[in-house]
Structures are given as structure tokens and as C-alpha cells.
């Protein structure tokens, strides 16, 4: 089964719908979708196969913790499709391309895994160099808001030759005007990891930085 056929699989879309329902059972969009779920999944499948699927408008709100950010919340049906795309195609393939010390957005990774790896890095460095060293902390200013759509789509093409996947990813990449990816989308989280995957490999492989996360 090809990557795009994996996303258009009714079974995979159904599994993704069940995942999307977790904790969302009282939200209006989830209730409406759930009332005719099997038919709605069939509509998504047909629209994907006919390449007529369109991303719905976002609901926008601002959060202040840990810093002020604009969150764009997608429709429930978009969440179902993103689960299917990310969980069955993007992440399984990209897991082989990400460095071990990429802690974001992956099952089995996360904050605790990152803290454990950081502790291991600090201990091994101390055993070799004592306190003769430093920690360099870096950040990319307004990273999500500055991602170039054309560059992002070229990254997708690099990792995924399937034209159906390229088309579908392009829908979510271009679902907002100008540069940037919408915070709140599962796809945006995965796209952001893909965007920096080559940088991670450059730092760890070309520059030979052994303790990096």
C-alpha cells in the first residue's frame, strides 16, 4: 500500500477518528461529527481520492503561558485527517530520519526522555572534563511564524516522493496566508521537526557534536 493509499484507507481514518474523540466528546465539532461518523469518514475518503478536500477555516485564540502565542484551532474533521496523515505516514517514516535526541512530538519521547538524555550528557561530560565546559542554549525566534511555505513543501518532497502526500501536506502548509505554520495543528508540529531535521544531522554528524538535543 502506498503512502497516499494509507491515508485514504477507511480503516486508518476510522482509527484516527477514534483517537481524535479522546477528551473531545463534549465539544460541539466532535459531537456533530460523531452523530454521523461513518458517513463523515466516507466523505473524507472520497474527497481525498478525488483531490477535492479543503482545509476548513481556523478558530483563533491567544494563550499567554509560557509565552504569548496565537493558536489556530482546526475543525474536527481536519484533526481526524491530520491524525491519519501524521500517525500512519509522516511520523513512521520520519522516525528513521530524526536524530535520537529529537524529543518532540513522538511516542516514547518528550520532556522526561529529554531530561534523562540531558542528565546523561552532563554526567558523561563531567566524567571527561570536570567543570571545564559550558552549555549553549539556542532558540529560533518566532520559528513557527517564520517557516517559509515553499521551503517546507520542498522538504516534504525530499522525504516523500508520493505526489498524493505532497498534495495533502501542501493543503495544510498553505492553509494560512504568508509565512508560518498554524500553532495548534498536529501537522505543524511534525512539519517543524522535518524542517530542522537536516540541521540536527549537520550538527551531530558534520560538526560532530556528541551532546546535543
Tens digit of pLDDT for each residue in 60-90? 888 877 777 888 888 999 999 999 999 999 9
Which stretch, 66-75, 99-108, 183-192, has highest mean pLDDT?
Answer: 183-192
Pick left, alpha or beta for residue 108 (phi over 0 → left; psi -120 to 50 → alpha; otherwise beta): left
Give the angle subtended at the CA of 137 by the CAs of 131 and 138, to the nearest 5°: 155
pLDDT tens for 35-68 read 999 999 999 999 999 999 999 998 888 887 777 7
CA 24/CA 17 separation, integer angstroms: 11
Predicted TM-score of the model (pTM): 0.88
- Prior bond to 66 cis, omega within 30? yes
Among 209, 176, 181, 207, smallest CA distance to 194 is for 181
Amino acid at each position: 500500500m502506498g503512502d497516499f493509499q494509507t491515508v485514504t484507507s477507511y480503516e486508518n481514518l476510522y482509527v484516527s477518528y477514534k483517537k481524535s474523540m479522546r477528551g473531545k466528546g463534549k465539544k460541539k465539532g466532535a459531537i456533530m461529527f460523531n452523530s454521523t461518523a461513518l458517513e463523515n469518514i466516507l466523505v473524507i475518503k472520497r474527497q481525498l481520492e478525488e483531490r477535492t478536500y479543503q482545509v476548513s477555516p481556523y478558530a483563533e485564540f491567544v494563550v499567554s503561558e509560557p509565552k504569548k502565542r496565537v493558536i489556530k484551532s482546526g475543525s474536527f474533521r481536519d484533526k481526524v485527517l491530520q491524525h491519519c496523515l501524521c500517525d500512519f505516514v509522516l511520523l513512521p517514516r520520519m522516525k528513521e530520519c530524526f536524530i535520537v535526541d529529537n524529543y518532540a512530538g513522538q511516542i516514547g519521547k518528550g520532556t522526561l526522555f529529554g531530561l534523562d538524555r540531558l542528565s546523561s550528557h552532563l554526567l558523561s561530560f563531567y566524567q571527561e572534563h570536570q567543570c571545564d565546559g559550558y552549555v549553549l542554549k539556542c532558540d529560533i525566534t518566532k520559528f513557527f511564524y517564520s517557516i517559509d511555505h515553499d521551503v517546507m513543501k520542498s522538504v516534504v518532497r525530499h522525504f516523500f516522493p508520493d505526489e498524493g502526500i505532497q498534495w495533502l501536506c501542501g493543503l495544510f502548509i498553505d492553509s494560512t496566508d504568508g509565512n508560518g505554520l498554524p500553532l495548534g495543528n498536529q501537522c505543524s508540529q511534525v512539519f517543524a521537526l522535518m524542517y530542522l531535521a537536516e540541521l540536527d544531522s549537520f550538527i551531530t554528524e558534520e560538526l560532530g557534536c556528541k551532546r546535543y538535543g
